[in-house]
Structure 1
């Protein structure tokens, strides 16, 4: 009687290093998406939701091609967003990140993530397996929320492209973090998207 939530960051975006806000997957991103599909092939997924942005939608399409029993659906609560600004507890080292982000964007992101928590981390009866294909900051916020950490701690969680994070909740218990940013299904040359290279 466990509710599982599988969190996957989209595959690598084409020309992401040139600052494109959204775009199609790169060839490497398509390979990443195929490998995460293979990794999840034995999971009895009940629902598959994805961000409407192209890079996440294409990742979901590739997953569906390899897992024909699933029917991914876009969900507006999985859009990329910035869920907080600087808080009194946020270490000063993070302040430069917020230089180009408006108060309106932060307010919208915070409201979106509050709704996402209510939608995706609400306890379901029986066994449930939900896959969310979304963005780095969204996954970071949901992990932070599941662990009941201070708001600013979302900034300390980073996910590789098509890395796998799994949350689980049994009846009467809090959420557990089963695995975070598992990239065992990705060969070293496909482990992209982190601010620092993995040491293995």
Structure 2
């Protein structure tokens, strides 16, 4: 009996480089989501949730079109957020990023992710396959949580658009990171969203 949690970052957003907080997928983002849908097609999902933001909702819709039995639901626990602030040991390279974040945003993100962890990293007594379509920082927080890393480390854990991360838990064992930011379903020209170009 294993609980499988599949974490997916949304596809590339149209005009994301212009600083828009949300928007539809770009044509490349739709291709990313279609490729991911093909990759996930053989998995017997029990449930799926997505962030209510447009770029995640559209990604979920494209994936669900390939899997008619799957009906993704919007969850406010998967909104884009800032899960925590910097710590004394956080490298100064992140100062510009955190300098633009308010205490209110950090408090809201911390509360959201505490609820998200309680909801989605719960133990299951049966085999389950669940899909979460969300955002870079949210996935970084889940990975950090499973690895027991310091709170601030989520900011250094990055996912590409439509990258696939898989977490599993077997009865009596902690959650494990099976794969992180797997892009094998995306050809090089569709690999976007990482701070540095993906070269492999």
Q: What 5-or-longer segments of structure 2 have no aligned partner?
A: none
Once the two structures are superposed, the pairs formed by residues 1-200 of structure 1 within 5 Å of their partners are 1-200=1-200
Deviation of 1:90 after TM superposition, in Å, equals 1.5
Deviation of 1:17 after TM superposition, in Å, equals 0.5
Q: How many residues align?
A: 200
Q: What 5-or-longer segments of structure 1 have no aligned partner?
A: none
C-alpha separation in 1, matches of 2:36 and 2:107: 33
Q: TM-score, normalised to structure 2's length?
A: 0.99
Q: CA RMSD in A?
A: 0.7
Deviation of 1:199 after TM superposition, in Å, equals 1.6
C-alpha separation in 2, matches of 1:178 and 1:86: 27
Deviation of 1:89 after TM superposition, in Å, equals 2.5
Q: TM-score, normalised to structure 1's length?
A: 0.99
C-alpha separation in 2, matches of 1:38 and 1:160: 17
Partner SS for 2:97? helix
C-alpha separation in 2, matches of 1:89 and 1:113: 22
Partner SS for 2:93? helix
Runs of 4+ in 1 over 4 A off after TM superposition: none
Partner SS for 2:41? coil
Deviation of 1:98 after TM superposition, in Å, equals 0.9
